[in-house]
């Protein structure tokens, strides 16, 4: 009975959520688009001509936002000024001008496809809205979240330009300070971000790292 009450409450909140309504109106696949939009408007992450990688991209709202931003220059051919590569283990419906690779980005075959698309260029921006399936067991969940952040950090270390940026989702709680420390070890500037589109009751937060430190 309690579970049903929770489901009804979540559904009620979801249906009446202004960001859900805005996403439906503006054609975004998820309200998460507005989290990236707020952070981008604050930090000016997405610029014409960039190579952007979206890790854990499905259903694709972050790639949609990045695509719209790179299309804002109104190229004559109707394309975008830049390159967006989206990766996810899950399938994703196509998005115009976005290269989608389905698979695990730790696998050589997926990385080879990525390297073919970037054609020797380094990446300007890596974004990750990846989240694990949470079990409710704090220690286990903290380990899963940290593992995903480690994967994104490792990917950024290998593919980012020296002045590039990495934005990842994580959660306040056990393990959060360790993740921040790992960012500080790898990036010159590190800042937490909690956009208004991120629900108040959620412990979700984002960490932004900019400017790779040279490996020791």
pLDDT digits (tens, 9 = 90+) for 100-135: 999 998 899 998 999 999 999 999 999 999 888 777
Is pLDDT above 70 for 1?
Answer: no
Q: What total of structural domains would you count in the chain? A: 1
88 annotated binding-site participant: yes
The pLDDT-based confidence of 10 (bands split at 50, 70, 90) is very low
In a domain, 5, yes or no: no
Q: 4-8, 121-125, 145-149: which has the minimum mean pLDDT? A: 4-8
18 domain residue, yes or no: no
Q: Is residue 24 part of a domain?
A: no
Residue 54 labelled as part of a binding site: no
pLDDT in tens, 65-88: 999 999 976 566 668 999 999 999
Are 169 and 128 in contact, with CB atoms under 8 Å apart?
yes
170, 185 Cβ separation under 8 angstroms? no
- Determine the length of the chain: 216
Residue 129 DSSP label: -
Within a domain: 162: yes
Q: Please report, for the domain that includes residue 148, its CATH number.
A: 3.40.50.150
Q: Is residue 7 part of a domain?
A: no
| Cβ proximity of 212 and 157 under 8 Å | yes
Residue 169 is a catalytic residue: yes
Ramachandran angles phi, psi of 89, nearest 5°:
-70, -30
Give 87-96's long-range contacts (Cβ < 8 A, gap of 24+): 87/53, 87/54, 87/55, 87/56, 87/57, 87/114, 88/55, 88/56, 88/57, 88/58, 90/58, 91/58, 92/57, 92/58, 92/59, 92/60, 93/29, 93/59, 93/60, 95/60, 95/63, 95/64, 95/67, 96/67
Domain assignment present for residue 13? The answer is no
How far apart CA 148 and CA 175 sit, in angstroms, is 12
Which residue's entry shows tokens 């420390």? 181
Task: Pick the catalytic residue from 161, 169, 182, 201.
Answer: 169
CB 124 within 8 A of CB 157: no
Q: Report if residue 174 sits inside a domain.
A: yes
- Is residue 141 a known part of a binding site? no
- Please report whether residue 160 resides in a domain: yes
- Chain CA centroid to CA 153, Å: 12
Q: In terms of residue numbers, what domain contains 146?
A: 30-212
């Amino acid at each position: 009975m309690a579970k049903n009450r929770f489901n009804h409450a979540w559904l009620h909140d979801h249906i009446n959520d202004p960001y859900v309504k805005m996403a439906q109106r503006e054609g975004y696949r998820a309200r998460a688009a507005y989290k990236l939009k707020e952070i981008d408007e604050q930090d000016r992450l997405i610029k014409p001509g960039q190579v952007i990688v979206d890790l854990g991209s499905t259903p694709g709202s972050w790639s949609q936002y990045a695509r719209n931003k790179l299309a804002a220059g109104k190229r004559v051919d109707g394309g975008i000024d830049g390159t967006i590569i989206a990766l996810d283990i899950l399938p994703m419906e196509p998005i115009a001008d976005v290269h989608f690779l389905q698979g695990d980005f730790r696998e050589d075959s997926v990385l080879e496809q990525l390297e073919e698309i970037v054609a020797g260029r380094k990446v300007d921006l890596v974004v990750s809205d990846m989240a694990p399936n949470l079990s409710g067991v704090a220690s286990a969940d903290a380990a899963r979240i940290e593992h995903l952040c480690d994967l994104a950090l490792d990917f950024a270390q290998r593919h980012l330009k020296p002045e590039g940026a990495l934005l990842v989702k994580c959660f306040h709680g056990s393990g959060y300070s360790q993740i921040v420390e790992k960012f500080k070890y790898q990036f010159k500037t590190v800042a937490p971000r909690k956009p208004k589109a991120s629900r108040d009751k959620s412990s979700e937060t984002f960490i932004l790292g900019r400017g790779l430190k040279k490996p020791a």
